[in-house]
Structure 1
Amino acid sequence: MTKNAGNHSRSKQLKQNPSVLDNFKPLLVDVAVPLGSYYLVKDAFGLSTFAALVWSSVLPAARTVWSLVKERRTNALAGLILVVNVVSLLLSFVSGDPRLMLAKDGGVSSTIALGILVSVWRGRPMMTAGMKPFLVKGDTAKEAAWQRLASGAAARSAAFRRKESAFSVVWGVALLAECVARVVGAYTVPVDTMVWLGSVFLVVAMVIGFVVGGGLVVAPMERMLAAEVEAGATERPARPVQCARAVAI
């Protein structure tokens, strides 16, 4: 019974505090599904390059709509991505240019990147939601230490919050660079090559985000968190020892 309750509590916590990888799962799906569907409809059904790109782009848009309906709440970032996809599809239909279809994927990356950077400017770094569970690991002492550091109540708060913002900046810049690479590649690289090369650009951007963000930000934050846990344990007053009263006969 206790074990089941503990498992339920942990799964609830994971849903409320998704990891960095969980946050990017939809993006990974939007890479794998269009890539596979492009080659399927083009090679198996003999559609043109433009038609194959259109059909492979419809699936991510449909997934985004389904996610919004399923969650039954407004997701600003998902909504922006959906708008970018729909507008790009309409423009592509008007122009009939397969290279514009490829360039639109850079618009999705830039939308996410700008959303991340705006969240830093507003003082609410978007990537913190994915980084925090990785550092706290469900430990109540670390959770309390995080709250003290994030709220400004600890001596290391200013440095901690700078690192917190820097993690989101790293991801925002990496995705913006990926956007530029996609757009340039869309108009300079053969279309069939760019279909899979665009996915490589995204994977490279994510690797940069994990490696650079981990080295420059996560490791120092982990040390600050450990130091704050130790400081909190030292400042905590000792619990009085209750002595048993002697019963006089």
Structure 2
Amino acid sequence: MTSPAATATAPVADAPVAAAPFAPRKALLDSVMPLLVDVGVPLVSYYALKAAGMGTFAALAWSSVVPAVRTVWGVVQKRRLNGLAALMVTVNAVGLLTSLVVGDPRLMLAKDSGVSSIIGIVILVTALKGQPMMSAGVRPWLTKGDAAKDSAWQRLSARSAAFRRAEMRFSAVWGAALLGECVVRTVGAYTVPVGTMVWLGTVIMVATMVFAFLVSGRVGAVPMERMIAQAVGTERTADGTR
């Protein structure tokens, strides 16, 4: 928000226009960075610790620490408890403690699929209740830092039944995909060698995300983007005729 004094001069008034193109890049970076940390760091850490002579269970346990710390730190840094972040912290903590007590490396691997299943169930429930959790993640991608598009999102989300259905479809696809990933990874955790499942589990997760991106985009994001563009065009036309 700019102050009245800031809007009084033309050079300052132009600043938001110059800054706007960077908003989608920041949204993309903010969305991808957690994935890189939660997937890349544990995978590299596991094999590095194994190469250093650490046991399978210990390597799995220590490689899970960074994602858990990142999630907690994100909550502390933002000073607000996001529902999904709180869910991930709780499930990770319970799973890690359970694994430490049991001491089974396969349980450590199954714990990750358990996280996916719980998150998937919560996402599905929020979609069915008309409060789709994934909307917060897709909104920056569709509005691209444009104030007019963001305003259109708010109007459509509050008034358009078609837009709300597209929001719910987007979340429902992600919830179903995460549940499917849970089944596949749980079976793999107890049937595939641990060393193989460490990297195979990552492949399964990435494949699931690609599938969810493609399907949720087609049935949810693309229709929402089209409706936002139409709403912005209608608003601009109305402003021009006044």
What is the TM-score of this pair, normalised by structure 2?
Answer: 0.83
Q: Deviations over 1:129-182 (max 9, x none)?
A: 222232233444433433332221xxxx22121011101111111111111111
- 1:151 alignment partner, one of 146, 152, 158: 158
1:85 aligns with 2:92: yes
Aligned residues: 232
Alignment-derived partner of residue 2 in structure 1: 12
Change (3 A) 1:64 1:220: closer
Percent identical residues: 56
Where does residue 73 of structure 1 map in the other structure? Answer: 80
Which of 176, 181, 184 in structure 1 is aligned with 2:184? 181
Return the letter of the residue paired with 1:52: A
Shift of residue 231, structure 1, vs aligned partner: 3.5
Following superposition, the deviation at residue 224 of structure 1 comes to 2.5
- 1:55-66 aligned at under 5 Å gives the runs 55-66=62-73
Conserved? CA contact 2:21–2:145, under 8 Å: no
Determine the C-alpha separation between the residues in 1 that align with 2:133 and 2:27: 12
Contact preservation (8 Å) 1:20, 1:129: no
The question of whether the paired residues in 1 share the 8 Å contact of 2:23 and 2:144 is answered with: no
Shift of 1:29: 1.2
Q: 2:108 aligns with which of 101, 119, 134?
A: 101
5+ residue gaps, structure 1: 240-249
Compute the displacement of 1:217 (Å).
Answer: 2.1
Structure with the greater alpha carbon radius of gyration: 1
- Counterparts in 2 of 1:102 and 1:6: CA distance versus 1, 3 Å: same
Q: 1:11 to 1:61 in 2, by over 3 A?
A: farther
RMSD: 2.8
Could you tell me which runs of 5 or more consecutive residues in structure 2 were left unpaired when the two chains were aligned: 1-10
The residue type equivalent to 1:100 in the other structure is: L
Matched-pair contact (CA < 8 Å) for 1:77–1:112 = yes
Give the TM-score normalised by structure 1.
0.81
The 5-angstrom pairing of residues 139-218 of structure 1 reads 139-152=146-159, 157-218=160-221
CA distance in 1, matches of 2:130, 2:240: 34
How many Å apart are 1:235 and its aligned residue? 4.5
Give the AA of the match of 2:80.
R
Please give the alpha-carbon distance, in whole angstroms, between the structure 2 residues aligned to 1:104 and 1:62. 17
